[in-house]
Amino acid sequence: MTAVAEAPIAAPVATDVTFRVRRFLPEVDAEPHWEEYTVPLFPTDRVLTALEKIKGEVDGTLSFRRSCGHGICGSDAMRINGRNRLACKTLVKDLDISKPITVEAIKGLPLEKDLIVDMEPFFEAYRAVMPFLITDGHEPSRERLQSAEDRAKFDDGTKCILCACCTTSCPVYWTDGQYFGPAAIVAANRFIFDSRDSGAEQRLEILNEKEGVWRCRTTFNCTDACPRGIEVTKAIQEVKRALIFRR
Amino acid sequence: MATLTSVGTLYRGGEGMWTWVLHRVTGVAVFFFLLVHVLDTALVRVSPEAYDLVIASYKTPIVNLLEVGLVGAVLYHAFNGLRVVLIDFWSKGPRYQRQMTWAIAAVWLLLMVPGTFFMLKHTVEAMFGSTS
C-alpha cells in the first residue's frame, strides 16, 4: 500500500460583510443616524464578533453592552435585521450577507447611546411582580420538596435571562410604557405555578390590573424573539387562564 | 461610512403580528361603515324621500367594490377574533396559532371567491352587458 496524500482541507475564507448600525452619540448627535461598516468575517462568526471588530479596528466610539458572549448573561439584546436577537447567538452564516445587516438598539426603552438603552423601566416591571419565593406558615427544618411533575409546570419560565428581547419586541409595550411586558409576566408565571410558593394570589391581582396580562394582544413577537426558546405568549396565556378559571 | 437616514427599521414580526395589524385595520374600517350605516338609516326619521335619495346614491360600481371589501373585512375580523379567543382560552391555543392563521386564511378565501363573484355579477352585467 502506498500512502495517498489526502486532499488538503480548504482553509475557511473570510468574506467582507457590511453592517448598517444605527448610531447615536448624545454628546454630538441630535438624532440617531445610520452608518455602514465593512469587516471581514467567517461564516461561523457571531454578530457580536463583528461589533467588536468594528469597535476595535474601525471606529472606537461604537458602544454596546456585552458580558459573557455565550447567550447566558442577556446583555447584548439588539435588533438584527429587524428582529430582536442576542448578538452573541446570531451567526453570520444564518444571515443574508448580500445586503447590509442592520443592527439597532431594542425598541421601547429610552435610547442612551448607540446600541445601549436604559433598562430601568424593564427591571421596574420585573420587580413589581415580586419575582421571589413567598411562603407562609412555619419555616420547615429541611428543604421544601416538590414532585417532578410540579417542577415541570413552571420549567419554561426558569430559562429566562432577562435580556428584554421579548418585552421590547411587543407592539403594546412600544406604545404603552406602563404595560408590565412579557418578561415580567414570565417571571410572575414562574412563581405563580410553583407549588412551594404561596404568593400566587398577590401576583395574580397585580397582573389583573389595567396594565397587566389583559394588555397582551397575542402577536407572538415575544415568543419568536426569545433567545432561550421560552413560549412567552403561552406563559402569558396561562396567567390569563388562571385569572379566568381560578374561582 | 455613509451617513444615511435616521429612522429605525420596521419590526419584522411574523404571522402573529401581521394578523393583529390587519385585525385593527379591519376593525376600524368596519367601525366607519357602521357609523355611516347608522347615519343613513337614521335618515328615515328625517324623511323617507331623503332616505331613498341617499340609498340610491350607493348604486354605483365603486360602492359595490366597497361592499366586497366590507364583507372581506367583517369575515376576517370575525374569524381572527375566534382565533384570538382560542389562543386565550384553549390551553393548546398558543401552540397552534400558526396553523389557525392558515386555517382562517383558507376559509376566508373559500368564502370570498364565490362571494365576490356573486356580489359583482350584477355590476359587471350592467356595465359590460348581460349574456342572458
Q: Which residue of A has its CA nearest to B17?
A: A219
Q: Which CATH number fits domain B14-121: 1.20.1300.10, 3.40.50.1980, 1.20.1250.20, 3.90.1720.10?
A: 1.20.1300.10
Residue B16 to residue A34, Cβ atoms within 8 A: no
Look at the block and give the residue holding cell 453592517: A19
* Mutation site for A-interface testing, chosen from B24, B85, B88 by largest number of A Cβ within 10 Å: B88
Q: What digits encode the pLDDT tens for the residues A164-217?
A: 999 999 999 999 889 999 999 999 999 999 999 999 999 999 999 999 999 999
pLDDT-derived band at A60, boundaries 50, 70, 90: very high
**Residue A29 · residue A19 · CB < 8 Å:** no
Look at residue B3 in the predicted model and tell me its pLDDT: 45
- Please report the ipTM that was assigned to this predicted complex: 0.85
Tell me: pLDDT of B102 over 60: yes
Residue A103 near residue A80 (C-beta atoms within 8 A): yes
Whether B15 has its CB under 8 Å from any CB of chain A: the answer is: yes
CA-closest candidate to residue A116, choices A49, A159, A164: A164
Question: Would you state the cell numbers that stand for residue B55, as one nine-digit string?
Answer: 340609498
What integer is the mean pLDDT of A80-109? 96
The model's confidence at residue B131, banded by pLDDT at 50, 70 and 90, is: low
Out of A79-88, A134-143, B5-14, B56-65, pick the least confident: B5-14
Residues A161 and A77: beta-carbon distance below 8 Å: no
Contact (Cβ atoms closer than 8 angstroms) between residue A75 and residue A105: no
Rounded Cα gap, residues A135 and A140, in angstroms: 10
Q: Which residue of A has its CA nearest to B98?
A: A220
Q: Which pLDDT score is estimated for A10? A: 80
Taking the domains of chain B in order of start, what are their residue ranges? 14-121
Residue-wise pLDDT for A95-143, tens only, equals 999 999 999 999 999 999 999 999 999 999 999 999 999 998 888 899 9
Question: In 3D, which of A217, A103, A205, A160 has the Cα closest to residue B83?
Answer: A217
> A34: helix, coil or strand?
strand
